[in-house]
Amino acid sequence: MHNWNNNYDRGFGGGHILMMLTMLAFWAFVVWGAVSLYRRNSSHVAHAVPSAQSAQNILNERLAKGEISEDEYKSRSEALKIVHTK
């Protein structure tokens, strides 16, 4: 009987290996692209401008640690209130 498929049904032939490697490269590229887009979009959230409430919390912590005086605390707290109301 004539072997019309050149014995490719007995394991991987040269074309099958190339096709498999190409598909692996394709899916690796798709995953890499998705991860890159996710990281780029999620980095915007991390660099958001802090709100006045979080700035006030930082100011409270600095006073509690003794890094700033009470006068400096009061002046900066007033400045935050003015900026926050605008």
DSSP assignment of 29-77 = HHHHHHHHHHHHHHHHHHTPPPPHHHHHHHHHHHHHHTSS-HHHHHHHH
- Specify the residue for token string 């958001």: 48
Same domain? 38 vs 69: no
Which pTM does this prediction carry? Answer: 0.39
56 vs 34: CA distance, rounded Å:
37
Same domain? 40 vs 60: no
For 22, the 3-state DSSP assignment is helix
Same domain? 78 vs 60: yes
Same domain? 3 vs 26: yes
Percentage of residues in the chain having pLDDT higher than 70: 69
Mean pLDDT highest for which of 7-16, 20-29, 41-50? 20-29
pLDDT at 10: 58
pLDDT at 11 over 60: no
Question: Of 32, 31, 8, 12, which Cα lies nearest the Cα of 21?
Answer: 12
pLDDT at 33: 96
Domain encompassing residue 36? 1-48
Higher pLDDT, 32 or 45: 32
Same domain? 40 vs 3: yes
Q: How many domains, the chain?
A: 2
